[in-house]
Amino acid sequence: MIVENKQVGRIFGPLISALNGSAIQQKNSFLIDKLNQKVVSEKLTITDDPFIVSGRGSRLFDSEGLATKKRLVFENGVLKTYYIDTYYGKKLEMEPTSGSTTNIVFETGSKDLQGLVAGVKRGILVTGFNGGNSNGTTGDFSFGIEGFLIENGAIAKPVSEMNITGNMKDLWSNIGEIGNDVNVTSSWLTPSIVFEGVDFSGI
């Protein structure tokens, strides 16, 4: 499965939500007690950078007045930080970092979307999501999708009314390739991403 850059946020959101102090304190996160452990693919390195010039999420202070810092979120698949505000920092007895993201920067690969498609023998290019949900506690998800069938590295035909199911940790642990086509219209600078071993239904 290739997820188009502007749609990656739909499946990245549950991963970020699992890092929030509220989810951790309320035992509603599948990434509790995972700091400095490998939890996703080693191909995933993400930085939270509040200092990008003209970045949509750039700021010197968060909503509580905490000074922002450039932080690694994932480094080669290893979880490096949680998003902890002062309230949940006290409850969890953890040092506050910030309760929200700034600019999320992915370490990118060398191919654009066309190059990623060319490398897929058979799969689905996801260009939209049609409902669905993700369980914050377990990471299990089910989403409706639409897009295009890929056969032998080329777009074959449009598809709709399909579903993908699985687990967020498994999905993000099975990254095939990360593109270089960063979506610059959001503070989450997401590229297109290839995921392997996805369970589809409806094709």
pLDDT in tens, 72-120: 999 999 999 999 999 999 999 999 999 999 999 999 999 999 999 999 9
- Percentage with pLDDT > 70 across the chain: 100
Which residues are paired to 154 by β-bridges? 151
pLDDT of residue 161: 87
Cα 16 from chain centre: 7
What integer is the mean pLDDT of 13-21? Answer: 97
Q: Assess whether pLDDT exceeds 70 at residue 203.
A: no
What is the pLDDT confidence band of residue 29, given thresholds at 50, 70 and 90? Answer: very high
Work out the end-to-end distance of the chain between its first and last CA atoms, rounded to an integer number of angstroms: 13
pLDDT of residue 202: 77
Residue at 13: amino acid letter: G
What's the farthest any 2 CA atoms get from each other in the chain? 54
How do residues 171-187 score in pLDDT, each as one tens digit? 999 999 999 999 999 99
- Residues 6+ away with beta carbon under 8 Å from 70: 47, 48, 49, 50, 51
- Cβ(119)–Cβ(153) under 8 Å? yes
What is the pLDDT confidence band of residue 125, given thresholds at 50, 70 and 90? Answer: very high
